[in-house]
Amino acid sequence: MPILSIDFLINGLASGAALALLCLGLTLTYMTTKVPNFAHATIAVVGAIVTLLLLDWVYIGLRGGAVYYTLYIVAPILSALIAGLLALTIYIAILRPLSKKGIGIIGLMIATFALDIIINNILTLILHLTPSKYIGKLIDASVKGYGVQVYIPILDVNIYLSRLLLPIIAVILTISLHLYMTRTKFGIAMRASIENPQLAKALGINVDLVYAISWFLSGSLAGLAGSLLAFEFPGINPAVAYLYIVSIFAGSILGGLSSMYGALAGGLVVGVSEVLIPVMIQNIYYTITGSVIDIIRYQKFISLLIIIIVLLVAPQGLAGVSWRNLLARVVRVG
């Protein structure tokens, strides 16, 4: 019977942080090109596969030492780079030509959905054509976990280093992206392209370059999230992208699709909710009936419910909430 232990809460926070990274990427491309990228989760899977292949090909058997620990630097960077280049290729080779031919947002969205299916099936085909013995090695390695465990004396638990890094990285990257978009010359150009692309072009801003860089950054964030999750993936299965994309959209919509901080908050809320709420329901059901109900498999229902509620109640998400007015009302009621 699952219980809400400290270890379980930390795992939930790590899951939320990983989802927040994915929401950051989706929000970034939506803010710039207004295209909901349905291939975003599959791009993250590419990052995960790159990391697992790197682990197996280069560092297999190195269970300690400085060389082994460089995995936490080399693998995420390489995965982010490759995933970023894939996202950039999608924009330059497919979306930009379609946009210049007059295809609208709906058409571009459908194009990303088609690309998602194509890329996912290519990944599945490659894995199926790879000798089963080799795939077995990768799956076995990921089940055992390449991740390094860290003991936290205060909490008296052993936690995978990747789970500790995820929340820290998510917060740092969110703040960095916000500062990049508000304090740097290119970031200001990006904001101008978001607000008024035609005026930005008239002012000499290369809007196409801004869009291309935003897609590269988006893919890199997805690849980074996939890489860190790869240290805990129970095997390689590209189909997991079809489940993750629901959560990514839920977190992004909750965040408002217009703010880096909103994307972080939305991803954390959805990710943590998907982990904790099913366990809480199981515990309540067990307390009342004395029997166990398997509700974990339906956790994506939570994401779908969040999407519906947000669109009905607060279409602008957390970014559209006037927190100052809300706080003032709470103070008056108190």
**pLDDT digit string, tens, across residues 154-171:** 767 777 777 888 899 999
Q: pLDDT tier at 11 (50, 70, 90 boundaries)? A: confident
> Does a structural domain hold residue 66?
yes
Q: Which domain holds residue 161?
A: 6-333
* Angle, vertex CA 139, rays to CA 137 and CA 144, nearest 5: 95
pLDDT for residue 122 is more than 80 = yes
Closest CA to 20 of 38, 315, 12, 161: 12
* pLDDT average, residue stretch 5-10: 76
**Looking at 110-114, 257-261, 294-298, which range is the least confident one?**
294-298
**Residue 32 within any structural domain of the chain:** yes
Give the lowest-confidence range in 210-214, 216-220, 300-304: 300-304
pLDDT (0 to 100) of residue 58 = 61
- Domain of 317, CATH number, reads 1.10.3470
Q: Is residue 315 part of a domain?
A: yes
What is the rounded average pLDDT for all residues in the chain? Answer: 83
- Given pLDDT bands bounded at 50, 70 and 90, which one contains residue 141? very low
Counted domains in the chain: 1
Residue 1 in domain = no
Residue 184 lies in a domain: yes
Highest mean pLDDT among 13-17, 74-78, 89-93, 200-204: 89-93
pTM of the predicted structure, to 2 decimals: 0.88
Percent of the chain residues past pLDDT 70, beyond the cut: 82
**Alpha helices, H only, the chain:** 6-33, 40-58, 65-69, 71-90, 96-100, 105-129, 132-144, 161-183, 185-195, 197-202, 207-230, 240-255, 260-289, 300-313, 323-333
Name the pLDDT band for 134 (thresholds 50, 70, 90).
Answer: very low
Does 225 map to a domain? yes
